[in-house]
Structure 1
Amino acid sequence: MTISYNWLCDYLPVTIEPERLSRILTAIGLEVESVEPYESVKGSLSGLVIGEVITCTPHPNADKLKLTTVNTGEAEPLQIVCGAPNVAAGQKVIVAPVGTTIYPVSGDPLTMKVAKIRGVESYGMICAEDEIGLGSSHAGIIILPDDVRVGTPAAGFYHPYQDTLFEIGLTPNRMDAMSHIGVARDVCAYLSHHDKKEFRVKRPSVNGFKVQQQQLQIAVEIGNSTACGRYCGLSLTGIRVGPSPQWLKDRLLSIGVRPINNIVDITNFVLHETGQPLHAFDADAITGNKVVVKTLPEGSTFVTLDGKERKLSAEDLMICNSETPMCIAGVFGGIDSGVTESTTRIFLESAWFHPTWIRKTSFRHGLRTDAATRFEKGVDISQTVNVLKRAALLMADLAGGTVASEIIDVYPAIQDRKQVAIKYHYLKKLSGKNYHPDTVKKILESLGFEVMKDGIDELWVAVPYSKPDISIPADIVEEILRIDGLDNVTIPTTISISPSVEKDLDGRLREKVAAALTGAGFNEILTNSISNSAWYAEDQLKHAVRMLNNLSVELDVLRPAMLETGLAVLAHNLNRKNASLQLFEWGKTYSSEAVGSYQEQPHCCLYMTGSSQGNWRKPGSEVDFFGLKGILNQLAAAAGQPPFDWESASVAGLRNAFQLKSGKSTIGFAGQVSKEKLAGFDIKQQVFFADLDWMKLVTLAGKKEISFQELPKQLPVHRDLALLVDKTLPYAKIETAIRKTGISRLRQILPFDLFESDKLGQNRKSVAVSFMFLDEEKTMTDKEIDNMMQKIINTLEQELGAEIRK
């Protein structure tokens, strides 16, 4: 949210320098993200002066140039060569002397230097409006009135608007600070507490409001008092729609609001001043002189101010006349009831609409307006009438309007202020600071709270309507803390804590797995759960959860699979020359069997492409399937499980895919992403992917009992075998067969060589395997080792048809 320093100062009782104001705003929870100067004219005409052309003669060496002498109030006039067709002696003009920097409407800034033009020296420039940022015309130089004083700075004549803008990172609960007066209220509360003096917001007076006529009475009827809790309005006649005065344009432009006309600008001005949205209707469009606030049948059509026809929901609250809808309440106006240049009579609305109704309508139609943003957070229901008076006075002053009706105030069920009780010991417990009761009451009263009951150990306060987020004692503590300042809470010299037993297996395993992956060179990513349905096959979308109110055609479904969102990240990086990536992500997929029946499943996914990280001694090698397998075995070990069993499988989007199993449980799948899937993301290099069912892995890790034993005192014994097997035989079957022997002293099995040649025989390959044996109690004899090796050989020969190479 953007706050104008000049605008804010209108409501502050004292002047505060921008630097201090920035610190105060951050201290009270309105974090200042940036402080930027603002100029309505770039450079603010600095260095430009008003001069008078004394002489104007043809240039001796150019037909289209003039040689002038210009009095700028200095001892000597300036000789300036000018090419403008309208320059003449006796004119008052704007001059840019040597050394002045000008800022054209288009192009780069230009600093004046002594220039020789067609052989004649020129000591500055007589300016056109586009050359100094005052307009777009380049037809000729600017000619000023004759009574302007020579030597006057141009800035003193034009008074270009200058301001300082604060960009505030407003949290969603701070609706009360979504206006300049709301921010001023917090600043005054801070000053009152810290400067020990009462400061009050200088609110614009509405005492001058009065009803001048009764010519235009428009009735109001609320058909849905749940969605519209209060509706106020009045009529004005004699309106002259036209441009706003410059001060009003400057205020709006400074915060990024485009001026339109005086009526619309006043409603925008009051919105940013008070936080209360207003809407002005052309009264001639209100047939039957009656405004009805109601919903319309499902599927009704309505053309909004942007010219688009929208189909309405039965839950869209509408502002209607006696025949047709005129406005989507609190969100967007209609094309047929808006203020135009020919409007002379208006009906001005100031209302309170239920936040939930406005939020749903705003998202349903994709209309995110300033008004909807405020209504959906909850506006101050108590200020609707005063804001209406404020706007009416401005319209009378700036648009010649006459108040032509009494204020209509339809308030079906008066809202009571919420009351919250806070105990002083709770305040101390939560804040860490012991506050005096008088300090607490003064802080709260300065923020608009009213003390209802003051007890020895408890305080009851009524919450102002401007703070709809306040409902529990902790909210009151937050208000006190931010005004007093978090920096003023003393840090204790000792901290007492009770040690706790960590029971969050999910969190502990995540940390362990993340440590293993980052240690292996992986980076974590977090992708959007809302995805593009175009990425998925039809069978994947059968049970997908589709968005009902998606704001983008590319974000219309909750992802049914993890692969695609990760590929989008890979594509983004590859397009930016980041070709070697090892990424992991914890995320969820979503599915639905029927309306109202939804499931979400947590995953841990790995993506690998490009080359592994190398160093100056050893370059990185291209990632492959075996690298992925090694990483997955590390994850299995982190979960306290043996290496996964790999079984060939068919998985959508992958080739050479495998199911990962631990015992009888299928933990996930892994493989190489197919070329067809990669083409959909314009990825031209190999990508390897693994998807683990995270909760199954957590469940397995939880069943693993941790045991400890002494380190072995004996040395292990190594033996090697070279096997001739069928070329199509996977190594996993070799290892499985060996483990079936049940040899307890066999501690490790590792393949260390693969050889293929026609000399071995047709469709044969040689696999070399290393075995490690260990007996922790005694040194093994050669006979014992030979017996174990023979048992392994017999098993391999019988079950796999292997031949032992001698």
Structure 2
Amino acid sequence: MKITWKWLEDWVELPDRPEDLAHLLAMRGLPVQSLERGASFDPGIVVGSVVEVARHPDADRLSLCTVDIGSERLSIVCGAPNVAAGQRVAVAQVGSRLPDGTKLRKTKIRGVESQGMICSERELGLSDESQGIWVLPGNPPVGAPLASVTGSADPAIDVEITANRTDCMCVVGIAREVASARGAGLKPAPALRAEGAGALPEVKIENPADCLRYMARVVTGLKVGPSPDWLSRRLQASGFRSINNVVDATNYVLREFGQPIHAFDAANVGGNAIRVRRAKAGERLTLLDGREVALTPAHLVIADSRVPMGLAGVMGGLPSGVTDATTAVVLESAQFDPALTRATARSLGIASDAADRFAQGVDPEGVATALDATARILADVAGGKVVRDRVDLWPGRAERPQIALSLRRLAQLLGVAVEKDKATQALRSLGIEGAGPWKKQDGDEVASFRVPSHRLDIEIEEDLIEEVGRVIGYDAIPRRLRAVSTAYQPEAGAAPFDNRLADLARGFGFHEALSPVLVGEIPPEARHGLEDSEIWEIQNPKSRELKHLRVGLLPGLIGAAARNLHHGIREVRLAEVGKVFRASPPPLGSERHEAALILAGKSDEWDHPGAEEDRYLELKGAVEALLRALGIDSFRTDAYHEPCWKVGTGASIRASERRLGRLGEVAPSLASALGLNRPAWAAVLDVAALAAVVPAKRGYRPVARYPASKRDLAVIVPADTHHADLEDAIRAAGGAQMEEVRLFDVFEGGPVGAGKKSMAYALEFRAPDRTLLDREVDGLMEAIVRALQTKFGATLRGGAPARRSGGVPS
């Protein structure tokens, strides 16, 4: 939250330097994110008086201005539409530097020499306003340095506020912390003079649970116009845009006290009546931002005697809003139900500062303070007269809560003994008063403390202890290493097996990814067979990209691969193990664990020299290696298809009649929908199915005593032939000596012919009791070839099968 030094100084005595203030706040748990010292002006930037404005001889949109700076008259070319004779302006002379470091030089603009520059607020670093020059308020002396006219720079401090400290999301809240740290009190607020006469609106709250407090004041005789310089500058420094003096006053009070204030044009409050009620079915309201919304009884509105004037705690309505013609306003300050305000804003998709504050909860006692402050400012900046009386309905008034504090518990949590008087004084400095004396209780001393209305975050004893620790200073707590004995707690549930899978995937060269559980629209290819009713949809998502619980890991990995490739990564090898969700069976749905791998991009030439463009076999090998590392030695791969895979590439992996997973080349339509414009190969594994077939104990397999005989076999088969069927036939024909069958190449086109494909296998034969003779292996190869010819119409590619190694000559 941004505030300025002088604004804070209105409320509390500050340290000598902004750096000291930043340190003080950091020690209180309110670190300063940034410190901006404000604009400091070069002595060469002075006050000038525009004497004459003439048209530029060679440009319609430029003016040739004669400007008196006291010591001389300058001829300056100016492009601002609002420059006029008689104005007091900021003039940067030749040789001076602007706050951004730009040094002014004498230049020619469209052939006319310009002897300086008439500055805008943006060029002086004062605001983002750049539509025209800055016309200085009042009648400052000509030739005076601008710094002497505007005063010294006002540093801006950006304080980081945690979500629970809503009391510190305002100037007064920060001032309370500074006062506590410096052992001082807050400065008194200026007094309100309410001496005007006028009629107050009749206010009625229909349901006290919806509106715990509602106050109203009337200010008459207003003149709507620009805000004075001090008001607009403080608002701009804190992130608000200056609109007019009435709206700026309400925004100023929001920043100063943390209490939203709304101003209704009194002339547009029908029947001079205000009703805090639920909307009626069919009612509509045009909001201040021009949007028209349809209302329901779930929405709380502020209405007059006939129609809604605003959404309570969210945004006002346009018909009752302040305009240039407004002369009297009804000021509203209230405490609305936080849950109802939050629900209204979300259901209508409205984000506003007021809704945020009311949704977090406001100080019920601060409602009156903020209302009076707004009325006082309007009297000051808009010439208004504040009506003497005010409306105050407080059906939700409640006693401030009391919380007991134990000295023993205080010492136990802080790690240092704190005297009871010191603890009492620490809490009192924060406005937390004792509700009674300290009492002895079971060898301990206990006292109750009354929580101030603005500290909505203090609910339990530990909150009080934290406050004592903040005040005495965490750096005052001694550093001591405490001996703590802890028992080993093994991981429960699926976590150990998930971690084991992730470790194995990393060992095979994959990088572990963590994709968001909340996702946007799920592509049709990734939700095959799932009805809408089976997909969890968040009722109040923060964005359209985060409205569903994921049903699979594949889309997230594809998106991650796309982002990495777009950022110049040559090869992507990602793995993820995590939960996926279904909305069935109702009402709680179900969740399960998946593991997924993805390959995309080009292999590193050093790691995989001569690697193929089609990386299906590389992925399949990684999956098979992972299964074997788990102890799953018996599995088979079958042809399989679903929309997430490119046609003809999908396969399922099965073991013991269970489907362990599926793999294939990602369908181009799915890849494109997720931003991936290159081929990718992926595998998705069912963690529960894997865990079910992993042996409890790994069996020992003796190291083979005799060498294997290796052969390569390439056959040409019809294009629709599946690898799994070929492998089954090869193993059956190879008999007991067939030890391993590995597909290492698939080729289509060219000499193979249309409707055909070549599939090359590496085969290994081994006998447990002897070295196989060549003629034995040759006989087995002939049997395999005959079986393939008979069953699939296969023909050998490139002649007889190749012998690679092993075997004993016949």
**Mapped partners of 1:183, 1:619: distance in 2:** 66
Return the match for 2:458 from 461, 467, 470: 470
Whole-angstrom CA distance in 1 between matches of 2:365 and 2:765: 83
How far 1:231 moved relative to its partner?
Answer: 1.0
Partners of 1:419 and 1:723 in 2: CA distance: 85
Compute the displacement of 1:795 (Å). 10
Question: Does residue 154 of the first structure (1) align with residue 146 of the second (2)?
Answer: yes
Which amino acid in the other structure matches residue 12 of structure 1? V
> In the alignment, what sits opposite 2:168?
177
1:304-703 map, 5 Å: 304-453=287-436, 454-455=438-439, 456-519=444-507, 520-527=509-516, 529-532=518-521, 540=530, 542-543=532-533, 544-550=535-541, 552=543, 557-578=548-569, 580-586=571-577, 588-592=579-583, 598-615=589-606, 622=613, 624-636=615-627, 641-642=632-633, 645-655=636-646, 656-681=649-674, 683-697=676-690, 699-700=691-692
Match of 1:24 in 2: 24
8 Å Cα contact 1:358-1:375 kept in structure 2: yes
Question: Counterparts of 1:36-185 in structure 2 under 5 Å?
Answer: 36-39=36-39, 44=41, 46-49=43-46, 96-102=92-98, 110-113=102-105, 125-130=115-120, 133=123, 148=141, 150=143, 152-159=144-151, 162-185=153-176
C-alpha separation in 2, matches of 1:341 and 1:750: 86
Contact 1:91 1:144 in 2 (8 A): no
Q: Is the 8 A contact 2:171 2:255 kept in 1?
A: yes
Contact kept in structure 2, 1:26 and 1:32, CA below 8 Å = yes
Counterpart secondary structure, 2:11: coil
Which of 268, 271, 275 is the equivalent residue of 1:292?
A: 275
Look up the match of 2:808. none
Greater shift, 254-263 or 665-674, is seen at 665-674
Q: Which residue of the partner structure matches residue 763 of structure 2?
A: 769
How far apart, CA to CA, are the structure 2 residues paired with 1:277 and 1:788? Answer: 89
Whether the aligned pair in 1 keeps the contact of 2:510 and 2:575 (CA below 8 Å) is no
SS at match of 1:545: coil
What amino acid is aligned across from residue 221 of structure 2 in structure 1? G
Once the two structures are superposed, residues 318-363 of structure 1 have per-residue CA deviations (whole angstroms, 9 ceiling, x without a partner) of 1111111111010000011111111122111111111111111111
Deviation at 1:52, TM superposition (A): 9.8
Q: Decide which of 202, 213, 234 is 2:187's aligned counterpart.
A: 202
Answer with 389-398 or 681-690: which moved more: 681-690
Deviations for 1:591-613, whole angstroms, at most 9, x for unmatched residues? 43598554444433333211134
Q: Deviation of residue 98 (structure 1)?
A: 4.9
2:764 maps to a residue whose letter is S
Q: Is the contact made by 1:45 and 1:132 (CA closer than 8 Å) also made in structure 2? A: no
Match of 2:215 in 1: 232
User: 1:81, CA displacement in angstroms?
Assistant: 6.7
Q: Any idea what SS the aligned residue of 1:457 has?
A: strand
Does the 8 Å contact 1:752/1:770 carry over to 2? no
Q: Which residue does the alignment assign to 1:58? A: none
**Maintained 8 Å contact 2:90/2:119:** no
The alpha-carbon deviation at position 258 of structure 1 amounts to: 0.5
Aligned partners of 1:90 and 1:559: how far apart in 2? 67
Q: Which moved more, 1:633-642 or 1:490-499?
A: 633-642
Instruction: Determine helix, strand or coil for the equivalent of 1:689.
Output: strand
The equivalent residue for 1:57 is none
Aligned to 1:244: 227
8 Å CA contact 1:236, 1:347 repeated in 2 = yes
Q: Which runs of 5+ in 2 are unaligned?
A: 52-61, 804-810
Q: Following the alignment from structure 2 to structure 1, what is the Cα–Cα distance between the partners of residues 574 and 205? A: 56
Aligned-pair CA distance for 1:18: 2.0
SS of 1:263's partner is helix
Aligned-residue CA RMSD (Å): 4.7
Output the CA distance in 2 between the equivalents of 1:209 and 1:319.
26
Q: Secondary structure at the match of 1:247?
A: helix
Structure 2 counterpart of 1:61: none
In the alignment, the residues of structure 2 paired with residue 341 and residue 524 of structure 1 have an alpha-carbon distance, to the nearest angstrom, of: 57
Which residue does the alignment assign to 1:3?
3
Q: Is the 8 A contact 1:330 1:371 kept in 2?
A: yes
- From the superposition, tell whether residues 598 and 499 of structure 1 become closer, same or farther in structure 2 (CA, over 3 Å): closer
SS of match in other structure, 1:430: helix
Given that residues 96 and 125 in structure 1 are in contact (C-alpha distance below 8 angstroms), is that contact kept between their aligned partners in structure 2? no
Distance (whole Å) between structure 1 residues aligned to residue 490 and residue 480 of structure 2: 26
AA in 2 matched with 1:649: Y
Please, which moves more after superposition, 323-332 or 234-243?
234-243
Q: Is the 8 A contact 1:65 1:81 kept in 2?
A: no
* C-alpha distance in structure 2 between counterparts of 1:176 and 1:167, whole Å: 16
Contact residue 163 and residue 254 of structure 1 kept, 8 A? no
Q: In 2, Cα distance between the equivalents of 1:475 and 1:154?
A: 49
Corresponding residue of 2:57 = none
Is the 8 Å Cα contact of residues 227 and 244 (structure 2) preserved in structure 1?
yes
